[in-house]
Amino acid sequence: MREFRKYLPALFLTLAILIGWQAYVASGLISQRILPSPSLILSALFDAKAIIADHALVTFVEVLAGFIISVCFAVITATAIFLSTPVKKALYPLLVASQTIPIIALAPLLLIWFGFGIVPKIIVVVIYSFFPVAVALVDGLSATPKNLVDYMKSQGATRWQILRLVNYPAALDKFFIGLKIGAVYAVTGAVVGEFVGAYKGLGVYLQSSAYSYATAQVFATILVIMAIAFMLLGSVFLVQKLTMPWKRANNA
């Protein structure tokens, strides 16, 4: 119940915005073709639920696969950077420099190399969500309390034991911050990849709706995209609660 009360202000604000939005459109001050009312958006979502669900499934698979792969790569890369100074000097600047390249500029190349299937979209998702997760984990590992490391060394622990029992647990807080950012970026990456070229997906349906001036369907698609982002973000929050029971106890 306490967790629910935390979100009451946001819930009330959202309801107020929706009521005001509905009233503004109903007043006739703006055309529904320009700004559809929330009720019309829900109606459009219901009417096209089958086709939107078909596109949403493709986007969800791209997001989930790309996000899982990006997290695996991020953990491996961050661990290598933390454990090896030469690797950090060689890799970390390249990691930062890679973020100066607009991902939208790489997407057409990925289509040329891998075609219009699901692979280039997954790669775009990986590129989008890899950086925040990797950087957050590197920062978390580097911020491990030195006294804990010294204690483990005094007990004869190996470097890998210290990494597993001290460094990783100490880095979890920052790691999950990176995961939350990466989760949102993953959905953005999938839609951007579909914008550039795809046969199916919410990005494709969003573009076709916009080209047809079906504004209500555009908003309905955006609503589903947001739902996928919230689902992935909620999953990260759930995993955080399960893997960090001490944080839950401190909050209580």
What pLDDT is attached to residue 43?
A: 92
Q: CA-to-CA distance for 26 and 10, rounded, in angstroms?
A: 24
Q: Is residue 218 predicted with pLDDT exceeding 80?
A: yes
What pLDDT is attached to residue 180?
A: 94
Of 33 and 55, the one with more pLDDT: 55
Q: What is the average per-residue pLDDT within 21-42?
A: 88
Q: Scanning the structure block, which residue is given the tokens 């600047």?
A: 93
What pLDDT is attached to residue 226?
A: 94
| Residue 76 in tokens | 């491996």
Using the Cα atoms of residue 17, residue 18, residue 19 and residue 25 in order, give the sign of their dihedral: positive
Q: Spell 30-49 as b/e; 16+ CB within 10 A means b.
A: eeeeebbbeebbeebbeebe
Q: What is the average per-residue pLDDT within 51-70?
A: 94
Phi–psi pair at 175, nearest 5 degrees: -60, -45
Q: What is the average per-residue pLDDT within 152-177?
A: 88
What pLDDT is attached to residue 251?
A: 54
What pLDDT is attached to residue 114?
A: 82
Q: Over pLDDT 70: what percentage of the chain? A: 96
| Residue 236 in tokens | 């990260």
Q: Is residue 70 predicted with pLDDT exceeding 80?
A: yes
What pLDDT is attached to residue 116?
A: 78
Q: Is residue 99 predicted with pLDDT exceeding 80?
A: no
The CATH number for 54-251, chosen from 3.90.550.10, 1.20.1090.10, 1.10.3720.10, 2.40.160.60, is 1.10.3720.10
In which band, very low, low, confident or very high, does the pLDDT at 250 lie, cut at 50, 70 and 90? Answer: low
Give 212-218 contacts, CB < 8 A, sequence gap 24+.
213/33, 214/44, 215/32, 215/33, 215/34, 215/35, 215/36, 216/32, 216/36, 216/40, 216/41, 216/43, 216/44, 217/44, 217/48
The domains of the chain are located at 54-251
Reported pTM:
0.88
* Amino acid occupying residue 207: Q
Q: Scanning the structure block, which residue is given the tokens 């019309």?
A: 40
In which band, very low, low, confident or very high, does the pLDDT at 247 lie, cut at 50, 70 and 90? Answer: low
Q: In whole numbers, what is the pLDDT of the chain averaged over residues?
A: 87
In which band, very low, low, confident or very high, does the pLDDT at 177 lie, cut at 50, 70 and 90? Answer: very high
Q: Is residue 133 predicted with pLDDT exceeding 90?
A: yes
CA distances to 20, 79, 205 from 85, in Å: 56, 11, 47
* Amino acid occupying residue 201: G
Q: CA-to-CA distance for 207 and 76, rounded, in angstroms?
A: 36
Q: Is residue 191 predicted with pLDDT exceeding 70?
A: yes
